[in-house]
Structure 1
């Protein structure tokens, strides 16, 4: 089991109704996406971090490691946004000209890149809050209550289950290969990696057939049933969520509305 999944089942917000956590994360994510203001993104990152670390009890070091995961992709993305290439004259803050082509960064492109970077981190922090405080099965339970098609939910559950199957199978194959010096050199690494991918496909197909046979043995009738935890709606939590979202909208209005492009 992934550590994210472990924390989802063992955190201080575990007993909170999943609909309350889902609404808080989704509403905040929508506001962060819709409003193009760096201040709003920073507030979202701060609030989600406080909620995850202080309220849910997730270790700070683990949360920071999670936030570092998308950082490389974000840096590459904002780098391409910040740099401008044009044959026309640009108000460059820094750059150079080669063969009549201007390459560099402008104040506008730097602002756009910074805004995009903060907005992306803000939305990621919303998703992390939901993933670290709410198990997938409970998210699916809420989606079922919202009349999401059963076929979509079943596919979602099967894909979620096979993430762990693939990781466990790949880990076992890799350990077996490494113990036989399968990754001792670059050439053997490529060879071992190819065999790992091929065997992973075969073993995954075998596990899928076993899973389907197990479902049929348990009288599967095109609907996967899971245990549902008894939850009660908290008026206090709903008021807190509404108050925070309202305060965020007021902050948006006070700083000037900027809709995302």
Structure 2
């Protein structure tokens, strides 16, 4: 097979064919995928029935893996998050977010596999923080460039949802203590491409440090609306065993919740990154 990467839009997204991810990925294939990720920000693969162990091993080809502090994980591979949602366990990711920005070295990327899908719905959208930043006026870019924003674990994982039992409370309190609010640049530089992009998101960003509350709330509200403009996004309609691999450093994503009461199960492996600057 010959690996081929076809763009799905000018700002973000590409479909990858000519590769079997259930088999070990060669160095040449890994390098080609990283180059495609750098250009397109999110790569989609169809009909890739990887097991949790295969997905973990694939993700390890791109770096050290993160183990989530509160999400359930797969018994065969603790590095694989199991996102199993239905009417009794509604999802919490129907907002624009960048994964795990509440740590000092947020993930460089993530690999998401569709395991069980509803009859319809449950699409995921990704947005390019680079395209959104470059579309801003020069005065606004200059305002944002030196600013920092705090990212909060408890904002995205509140106690009322994740500490409902004594056992959950113990895990949640440990995570909340381990991950206090942490500042990151509002505009981040991609460590490989050198491009600049927005690095604030609805899921985790609580405030802009250098601004007062009203100013911070107004700027963050504007940026949340701005990055969701269709021209900065790509939408993927999942089929079973589809897999997405995205650059988490300067993208956001949104999982639509239009499938309840039906069930949706996704497996995610998360590759750790570096300190944003």
Q: Structure 1 length as normaliser, TM-score?
A: 0.27
Q: Which structure has the highest strand share of the two?
A: 2
**Structure of greater relative contact order (alpha carbons < 8 Å, 6+ residues apart):** 2
Structure having the higher Rg: 1
Q: Structure 2 length as normaliser, TM-score?
A: 0.26
Q: Which structure has the highest helix share of the two?
A: 1
